[in-house]
Structure 1
Amino acid sequence: MVTAQLTGRTLIRITAKQQLGPDAQVDDKALVFVPTDPALTDPFLGLVEDWFSTPGFEWHPHRGLETVTTVVDGVLEHGDNLGHAGTLEPGEVQWMTAGHGIIHRELAHRDEHAHVLQMWLNLPAEKKLTPSRYQDLTRAAIPRVQAPGVTIDVHAGTVEGVTGAARTHHPVQGLVATLDPGSSYDLEVPTEHRLFAHVMDGRLLIGGRELHAGQTGWSDPVTGAVATTLQVAAVDPDKRARVMVYSGTPLREPVAFGGPFVMNTKAEITKAFADFQAGAFGPVPRVARLAYDR
């Protein structure tokens, strides 16, 4: 039996999140990465960290992308005009496909506290107007991979034969790994994927470079390799570390931004605004907040 040789991934650049502070919607906000040059992060468009109590993000539209929201702390209340409503707790994920068009809101349950990481994932041109859909990845639905000193919550793609619950429109692997002090893990990543590793807590040696909380490392697709791995190791002797690692095949398509819409041309952005204003996304919901249970 011949075993495929694994090529170790290295990080080609490291970025630090930019803390912005409070605004009209949130108690605090940080930009983990933004699409200053979408070709460098393709297929990922941005990652934002928000802390909010009230008002949060009331009804607003999206088209042409997916939003992947991981709850870090508190309870996130959500609802959309497809009829979905509920709450998500720490470690759970909201995977929303805006596609043709959706109207939704994201609030702190009971106006208490929600701390989330929201990633914008681009859709291929042929899927920009795909039917909208919503997926809740609850703790019960998120499969785990266990290794000595390591726990991996698999959101999407397959890790060691364990496949995440998210249905995706494009090849994506996504997970959050928690590592005990001194532990390490070699994560297999498809050669054609670009990946980012965002350190949520602690300090980690990732792809040969040390990163601390708030930093993000990037690795581009590897040509000529049979398979690749990203080595992740917790270096703080006293504290656990936690890292979000997402990878995906670059789309290599033009990107046009227009507020909550992401398309391929400015003309498509103009049409998205016109469609929304004409009611093509459906009516803005007029549903009450989720009932208190106390």
Structure 2
Amino acid sequence: MSLRPTIETRKARPTLEGAGVKLHRAFGFQDPTELDPFLLFDDFRNDHPEDYEKGFPWHPHRGIETITYVLEGSVAHGDSLGNLGTLGAGDVQWMTAGSGILHQEMPNGNASGQMHGFQLWGNLPSDQKMTPPRYQDVTAADLPQVTDDDGTSVKIITGTFWGKTGPVDGIAADPQYLDICIPPGQQKTFSVDTYRRAFAYIFEGSGAFADASPPSGVLLEKEVAGEELNIRDLSGDRTLVRFGTGDEVTVQAGPEGIRFLLISGAPIDEPVAWHGPIVMNTQEELHQAMRDLNNGTFIKPGH
């Protein structure tokens, strides 16, 4: 087994999106190869309705998948195919935009006015860019959760972990998407397939991820299989952690514990042509998508 080194930690940046929703973006619209097959990750968390209530009105998508995970409040959605629904606290929607869809997402707060959720964009390979759109809506009750003896709990959205498999399937990047909570002071190691790109996103508490080289401000060192394990400084709320290659990730929980998403997927390694909510392989495909939007043929017949 080999440790995945921590190659970067960075804070999510405040961003305005949709009709004026305040959110924090961990990555997106920069280098699409950085976390291939993932393109963008947003944390939409607000305590005040005026910061989110205008929502994300009608907009198109083509060539990607969007993964929405709601923690507090709800998100009402509708699309050009006539689908309507609402995601509640703990629910997940995995939307394959494929050949094209127009949809809207309108967040609503809980009884205290709080709204919190995440949206991840996954790229589609060229041979699936124009696949028919589809949804996988999963309720919180259908997401398996496993708990270790030390109190560590893992909710499995997709992929297999500790003998349980998440309900979302048939995804191009064959991803693993985990919601992990570790009690204060515990140190845990999680397996991640060597051939996947991987990142963590901390959103509660704090913790430190192991690195393969001695960093400044080392918190902890111990011998593991004859090698020194170095733990980075504590990283807290709204922090993205990018990992290098390897098949294990080790984290030391801080004094309040830590909760984070651990997400990995198989790289697509294809050219990316990207404009707003449309991601194709070539500029000509992007131009065709724009023509389709303008002439009313963006939604394919029968989709």
Whole-Å separation in 1 of the counterparts to 2:21 and 2:299: 30
Aligned equivalent of 1:291: none
Q: Structure 1 length normalisation: TM-score?
A: 0.85
Q: Are 1:149 and 1:183, in contact at CA under 8 Å, matched by a contact in 2?
A: no
Q: How does 1:119-134 map to 2 (within 5 A)?
A: 119-134=120-135
Partner SS state of residue 7, structure 1: coil
Matched residue, 2:292: 275
Q: Return closer, same or farther for 1:23/1:159 CA change in 2, 3 Å cut-off.
A: closer
Match in the other structure for 1:19: 14
Matches within 5 A, 1:43-122: 43-50=37-44, 51=46, 52-109=51-108, 114-122=115-123
Match of 2:204 among 179, 191, 201: 201
> Shift of the alpha carbon at 1:165?
1.0
110-119 or 95-104, larger mean C-alpha shift: 110-119
Residue in structure 2 matched with residue 175 of structure 1 by the alignment: 178
**Letter matched to residue 36 of structure 2:** D
Aligned to 2:237: 213
1:223-253 deviation digits (Å, cap 9, x = unpaired): xxxxx111123112xx232101110111111
Q: 1:234 aligns with which of 241, 253, 257?
A: 253
Distance of 1:267 and 1:9 partners within structure 2:
38
Conserved? CA contact 1:205–1:235, under 8 Å: yes
For 1:110 and 1:13, locate their aligned partners in 2 and report how far apart those are by CA, in whole Å. 33
C-alpha deviations, 1:143-189, integer Å up to 9, x for none? 11211211111111111221111121222111111122123332111
Match of 2:264 among 247, 252, 266: 247
Structure 2: segments with no counterpart, 5+ residues: 211-230
What does 1:128-207 correspond to in 2, within 5 Å? Answer: 128-147=129-148, 148-167=150-169, 168-207=171-210
User: 1 CA distance for matches of 2:21 and 2:65?
Assistant: 24
Confirm or deny: 8 A CA contact 2:184 2:257 kept in the other structure. yes
- Paired residue secondary structure (2:127): helix
Distance (whole Å) between structure 2 residues aligned to residue 113 and residue 58 of structure 1: 20
CA contact (8 A) 1:150 1:184 kept: no
Query: Secondary structure in 1 aligned to 2:141?
Result: coil
Contact persistence 2:53–2:108 (CA under 8 A): no
RMSD between aligned residues: 2.1
Q: 1:132 to 1:221 in 2, by over 3 A?
A: farther
Shift of 1:97: 0.6
SS of the aligned residue for 1:240 comes to strand
**Aligned residue number for residue 41 of structure 1:** 35
2:281 corresponds to:
264
Aligned to 2:292, what secondary structure does the other structure show?
A: helix
TM-score (norm 2): 0.83
Cα drift, residue 45 of structure 1: 0.5
Equivalenced residue count is 270
* Offset of residue 48 of structure 1: 1.5
Q: 1:91 offset after TM fit, Å?
A: 2.4
SS at match of 1:268: helix
